[in-house]
Chains A and B, each alone.
Chain A
Amino acid sequence: MTRPFLSIQGIRKDYGDFTAIRDVTLDIARGEFMTFLGPSGSGKSTTLYILAGFQDPTEGDVLLDGESLLRMPSHKRNIGMVFQRYTLFPHLSVGENVAFPLRVRRCAKSEIEDRVHAALRLVHLEDLAGRKPALMSGGQQQRVALARALVYDPPLLLMDEPLSALDKKLREELQFEIRRIHQETGVTILYVTHDQEEALRLSDRISVFSQGRIEQIGTGRELYAEPATRFVAGFIGDSNFLAADILSVAENKAKLSICDGIVIDGVPVQGRPAGTGRPTLLLRPERISLSHAREACGMPVTIRDLTFLGNMVEVSSVTDRDEPVKIRIPFGNRIVSELASGDRVWANFDPGSLHAFQD
C-alpha cells in the first residue's frame, strides 16, 4: 500500500477532565475532498484546529507526506485555511490581501503580481483587486479568503464552515464554486460543516463525528445506504426508527416482529451477528409506499398530517404503538389525493431496505 498523503493517527485532546476528541484516526489521499460532518461540539473543528496548529493534541500524531506536522509552528506548516468568520485584513485591498502570503514569503514582485492575478481569476474577482474588504458582500469576502488561501499553492486546504454565515442561495452558489476550484487546482481539502446537504454535495468522502469520535468514514452514498450506527443513520438523510424484537437469525437475515404482531423476514443484519435482543430498525421515508390493502410486507399506520413540499408530499403517521413514521411520496402519485388525516392505511416496504441497529 502506498503511503497516505495525510495521516491522522490516534488524536486525542483533553481539556482538564473533558475529552474533546479521542481515537481520531484517518488517512486522506492526495487531491481528496474530505468533509468532517457532525453536530456542534462533536470534535470536528477541534481536529481541524490541531491540523492548523491552534491547538496541540494530548496524544497522537499528524503526518503530511510522511512528516509530522505537529513539531512545526503554524506559520511554517504551509497550509491554507478559510475561516468561518470574515478574516480579510481590513486595512488592505483585495489584491494586497491575496498578495500577503507571497509578501511574507519574500517572493519577487513580478511573481506576486502574476500569482495574485491568477488566484483572483480563479475565484472570478479579478476586477475587484483594488477594493477594500469592508465594501464587499460576505460571499465575495469568502471568495477572496479562498484566493488568499490558495495563492501560495498549499498542499492542504482547511475550511472551517466557510459558508455558514451566508444565506442559502449564496451558499449553494459558493458550494458549486468550491467544487469547481477543487477540480481545477487538485488541492487536498479538509472541510468542516454541520450541514449534511453541503457535505453530500461537496465531498469525495465524509467522516461523521459524534461526541468526539469518528462514527463512520465513507462516501455520501455509503453513509446513506449502509450507515454503521444509528447516529449516522439519523444524521445523514431523514429516517424513521422502529423498535423490533428478533425472532430468529439465519444467514445474516433476521426474522423480526414489529408493531403488534407484524412479522417481517429477510432483514439484513450485516457484520454483527445479532442473536436475540431488541434492535432498532431504520426505515427511510422515501422507501415506503402507501396502499389501502395489505401488501407483501408492510404495517398499518394512521395518518396524522399531510405536508405539501413541492415535488413531494410528506405524510406524518404513527404506528399502532404510537411510533412516528414519516413517509415521502412523489407529488402526483394517485394515492396522495385520496389520503386524509385519520385514515388507516398500509405502509409497505422492501425488508432488504431496512437496517437493524443493536445499540
Chain B
Amino acid sequence: MLLDFNRLGGVRYFLVIVTGLVLLFLILPIVFIAALSFGSSQWLIFPPPSWTLKWYAELFSDPRWLYTALTSLKIAVIVTVLSVVLGFLASLGLNRGEFAGREQIRALFLTPMILPVIVLAVALYALFLKLGLAGTTAGFVIAHLLVALPFSIISISGALDGFDKSIEDAAILCGASPWEARLKVTVPSIRHGLFTAAVFSFLASWDEVVLAIFMSSPTLQTLPVKIWTTLRQDLTPVVAAVSTILVALTAVLIFTPLVFRKRQKDD
C-alpha cells in the first residue's frame, strides 16, 4: 500500500524513535520498582548499592501479606464468575431483546465506567453502612462487580454482535432445546469475548484500591489496601516486592489471551 512502513522514507526513523520513547515511558516505572525490590537499600536508593532477595523473604515470612493476597484472590474470583455470568445474560437481553430504549439502556450499563470511582465509593459506603455490608466480603464483591460489569458487557455484547443468530436457529432445528443451543453453540462461539470479559473483570477487582479502602475493615483487607496502609506507616522495599509480584501476575493474565488468540489463528 501507499502508506506502507517501507515507503515512508525518513519518517520511519522518526516513528521508530517515538515508539521506542513511548515504550520506555510506559515500562520504566515498572523496571524501576522491580529494581528497587531487589535492591539492598532500606531507603529505596536508586541505583541500588547491591542486590538482595531479603525483601521477598520478609514478604513471604509475614502471614498478613499472604492472607490479604488470598482475600483479594477470593473476591476477584467471585467477582469474575458473577461478572461473566451476569454480563452474558445482560448482553443476551441487550442484543436479542426488542424493546424501546434499548440503546439508552445499553449506555446506562456503562455509567460505572464514567462515574468517578470516588463518588461511587462514597455512595456505596453510605448505603452499605445502613445495610451492614461495609467491611464484609459481600460488600467487596458487590462494589467490585459494579466496576467489573461494564467491561464484561462491552466485550460479551461485542462478541454477540459478531455472532449470526441463524446459527442458533440451526442448532434448535437440529433438535437442541433453546438453552442447550445457547450453551453448546452460542457460548463456545463467543468464548473469546467471555475470556476477555473474565480477564478484565478479574483485574478490575484485583487491583482496585479506591472502593476497597472504603469497604475494608481492620480484619478484611485486599492486597492493594494493605500496600496503601503499609506505605502510609513506613517506606519499605517490601512494598516494591509486592508490587513487582502483582505486575508479574497481571502481565501473565493480559498476555495469556494474546497467545491464546494467536494459536487460534494458527489452527
Q: Which residues of B contact A79 (CB under 8 A)?
A: 173
Asked whether A87 is an interface residue with its Cβ less than 8 Å from the other chain, the reply is yes
CB pair B188–A54 under 8 Å, yes or no, is no
Interface residues of B in 98-134 (CB under 8 A from A): none
CB pair B169–A75 under 8 Å, yes or no, is no
Stretch of B16-24, B58-66, B174-182, B229-237 contacting A (4+ beta carbons < 8 Å) = B174-182
CB pair A100–B173 under 8 Å, yes or no, is no
A88 to B163, CA, bound (A): 12
In the assembled complex, 21 residue pairs joining A and B whose CB atoms fall closer than 8 Å, in A order, are: A52-B173, A54-B169, A75-B174, A75-B181, A76-B175, A80-B173, A83-B166, A85-B166, A87-B166, A87-B167, A88-B170, A89-B167, A91-B188, A91-B189, A100-B171, A100-B176, A101-B174, A101-B175, A104-B180, A149-B174, A152-B175
For B174, give the chain A residue with the smallest CB separation: A101
Chain A, residues 193-216, CB within 8 Å of chain B (1/0): the string is 000000000000000000000000
Interface residues of B in 149-191 (CB under 8 A from A): 164, 166-167, 169-178, 180-181, 184-185, 188-189, 191
CB pair A100–B164 under 8 Å, yes or no, is no
By size class, the interface of chain A is 20 to 34
- Asked if A85 meets B164 with Cβ closer than 8 Å, knowing A91-B188, A91-B191, A132-B267, the reply is yes
Task: Give the number of residues in B that approach A within 8 Å (Cβ atoms).
Answer: 21
Q: Main secondary structure on chain B at its contact with chain A?
A: helix
CB pair A100–B169 under 8 Å, yes or no, is no
Q: Which residues of A contact B176 (CB under 8 A)?
A: 75, 100, 104
Q: Main secondary structure on chain A at its contact with chain B?
A: loop
CB A75 to nearest CB in B, in angstroms, measures 5
Q: Which residues of B contact A101 (CB under 8 A)?
A: 174-175
Q: Which of B166, B174, B178, B189 has the most CB of A within 10 A?
A: B174
A100 to B169, CA, bound (A): 13
Partner of A78, one of B175, B177, B189: B175
Asked whether A81 is an interface residue with its Cβ less than 8 Å from the other chain, the reply is yes
- Asked if A89 meets B175 with Cβ closer than 8 Å, knowing A81-B170, A145-B170, the reply is no
A79 to B188, CA, bound (A): 24
Asked whether A148 is an interface residue with its Cβ less than 8 Å from the other chain, the reply is yes
- Asked if A105 meets B189 with Cβ closer than 8 Å, knowing A83-B166, A87-B170, the reply is no
- Asked if A89 meets B185 with Cβ closer than 8 Å, knowing A75-B172, A78-B175, the reply is yes
Asked whether A90 is an interface residue with its Cβ less than 8 Å from the other chain, the reply is yes
CB pair A89–B169 under 8 Å, yes or no, is no
Q: Which residues of A contact B164 (CB under 8 A)?
A: 85-87
CB pair B174–A100 under 8 Å, yes or no, is yes
For A160, give the chain B residue with the smallest CB separation: B166
For B170, give the chain A residue with the smallest CB separation: A87
Chain A, residues 342-356, CB within 8 Å of chain B (1/0): the string is 000000000000000
Q: Which residues of B contact A83 (CB under 8 A)?
A: 166, 169-170
Asked whether A74 is an interface residue with its Cβ less than 8 Å from the other chain, the reply is yes
CB pair A87–B175 under 8 Å, yes or no, is no
Q: Which residues of A contact B167 (CB under 8 A)?
A: 87-90
A100 to B167, CA, bound (A): 13
Partner of B172, one of A74, A89, A90, A152: A74
Known: A87-B166, A100-B171, A104-B174. 5 other contacts (CB 8 A): A52-B169, A52-B173, A54-B169, A75-B180, A87-B169
CB pair B173–A89 under 8 Å, yes or no, is no
CB B36 to nearest CB in A, in angstroms, measures 46
Q: Which residues of B contact A80 (CB under 8 A)?
A: 173
CB A216 to nearest CB in B, in angstroms, measures 29
CB B187 to nearest CB in A, in angstroms, measures 9
Partner of A75, one of B173, B185, B267: B173
A145 to B173, CA, bound (A): 12
A88 to B189, CA, bound (A): 11
Interface residues of A in 66-106 (CB under 8 A from B): 73-81, 83, 85-92, 100-101, 104-105
A91 to B193, CA, bound (A): 14
Q: Which residues of B contact A105 (CB under 8 A)?
A: 175
Partner of A104, one of B169, B175, B191: B175
Chain B, residues 28-72, CB within 8 Å of chain A (1/0): the string is 000000000000000000000000000000000000000000000
Q: Which residues of A contact B189 (CB under 8 A)?
A: 89-91
- Asked if A81 meets B180 with Cβ closer than 8 Å, knowing A89-B189, A91-B189, the reply is no
Q: Which residues of A contact B172 (CB under 8 A)?
A: 74-75
A132 to B176, CA, bound (A): 21
Q: Which residues of B contact A148 (CB under 8 A)?
A: 170, 174
CB A260 to nearest CB in B, in angstroms, measures 56
CB A69 to nearest CB in B, in angstroms, measures 13
A100 to B229, CA, bound (A): 56
Q: Which residues of A contact B188 (CB under 8 A)?
A: 89, 91-92
Give me the 4 closest cross-chain CB pairs, A-B, nearest first.
A87-B170, A101-B174, A91-B188, A81-B173
